[in-house]
Amino acid sequence: MSKIAGVLKDFYAAHQQKVFQATAPGRLDVMGGFADFSGSLLLQKPLLQETNLYLAFREDPQFTIRFFCRGEEKTFSASYEELIGNFKSINYEYSRQQILAKEGGDWAIFIAGTLLVFFQERKLKPEGVNIIVSTDVPSRKGVAASASVNVALLQALKNGLSLNMGEYEIPKLAQKAENWVVGFPSGMMDTLAVHTGKQNKLMPMICQPSEVFHPIDVPDSIKFIGIHSGISPEQHEAFLDARTAAYMGYSIIALAAGASLRDLEVAKETNQTASLPYRGYLANITPSEFEDKFLPLLPESISGEAFLVKYRTIIDPLSFINRDKEYRILNCTRHPVYENFRVMLFSQILKNYTTEFQNYSNRLSLLGELMYQSHQSYTDCGLGHQRTDEIVKMVKDAGHKKGLYGARVTSRGQGGTVCILSTGLNGPEAARALHQTYMQRHSLQTEFFE
């Protein structure tokens, strides 16, 4: 802490009043998670852990990043010329390769990519900057660490250049950086959550493509707690396969609902889906309609080869269909349909939690059951992990007597963080005891988020 304080003191002294600061929190995915790109309602909780970013402009076309996280320091420097090359406009694939070829490019690509996307999309000449990042949002834990940094960076750039930006322009640019430069297909959930988050509230949002609703107050007696499993997936293959399978399922449904193959191809080319059945989002299908009209049409699984022969295309430009791979069409298509319904019910129960003549325990049980159902649905999509299953089982075993009512794996699954619904004074204490037991059992240290 004293080291970063000294670094900041020198930074401010060097730039005097020309330093721009911005802050963005991490987030806990309470409900919705993996269904974001399918248009589901999401409930996101901002964490106490946050990113503080400091930015100062420089005269040459160079940028430097000094990154501090919990005692670790990393540094990255580059010129825009070497990352952009001789292209008239930025070629993001080329830039990605140039960033990754440099030492530290594997972690700096999120920040460097956001800089490139910002100047390209805003049609501005790239300006040199010095950046200091001080964050206690841990990376690869499923709590939106990269989104926290990138949103803070974009906010500092906006302030520093005195720009007028649309309500959701910052989270959209941060998402584009991850999609186009980092090369990972992600929805708007993370960037929207950290951009709009308000402490002690759940942020309801729908990514169709982006809309944030009035925050939901969390009753004082309820605490949503996160426990990291100690598993941080380095490979995202299962998530990518599940995402692709969901879009494959949508193609089958859309064609059955009257869309033509050309309609799907145009939607993919233009990224405009409003004229498609259900506006292009599985979450806009009700569970009853899904069961009645579409369930019989969906195979439990299908190979990429068989799908391409019969259905030809999907509307997601970021997904790739492997002809030799088998995809879980039914479960991955069903998940966002039912997840959206679960999240809507969850939010309504919370909104009406403090009305009179109610059974608090019954409402907590309903909230917990919705979380357990969500967790099982992740598993059915191939996004489970034995360690997150173990934490969920520990919560179930502790049960209501300990003040623990529900749990689910969050974000993209395959490990990561488990969200726990606790209540009263005993609940958070029981969650901490559970966390200690879990760490001792596996001889590791993991994060506890409040």
The pTM of the full predicted model, rounded to 2 decimals, is: 0.94
Query: Using 50, 70 and 90 to split pLDDT, how confident is the model at 16?
Result: confident
Give the whole-angstrom CA distance, residue 285 versus residue 173: 29
Residue 160 token pair? 């520093």
Measured CA angle at 220 (ends 217, 225), to 5 deg: 85
The model's pLDDT over 239-286, given as tens digits with 9 standing for 90+, comes to 999 999 999 999 999 999 999 999 999 999 999 999 999 999 999 999
Measured CA angle at 176 (ends 172, 177), to 5 deg: 120
398: exposed, middle or buried (Cβ count in 10 Å: 0-12, 13-18, 19+): buried
Residue with tokens 């209540």: 423
Helical (H) or strand (E) element with 129: strand 128-135
Give the whole-angstrom CA distance, residue 198 versus residue 208: 21
Mean pLDDT of 296-308: 98
Q: Can you give the C-alpha Rg of the chain in angstroms?
A: 22
Is 134:173 a contact under the CB 8 Å cutoff? Answer: no
Domains in the chain, please, with CATH?
2-23+49-188 (3.30.230.10), 237-333 (no CATH)
The model's pLDDT over 143-186, given as tens digits with 9 standing for 90+, comes to 999 999 999 999 999 999 999 999 999 999 999 999 999 988 88
Least confident of 85-99, 261-275, 418-432: 85-99
Instruction: Compute the 3-state secondary structure of the chain and give helix, strand, coil in percent, each to the nearest 5.
Output: 50, 20, 30
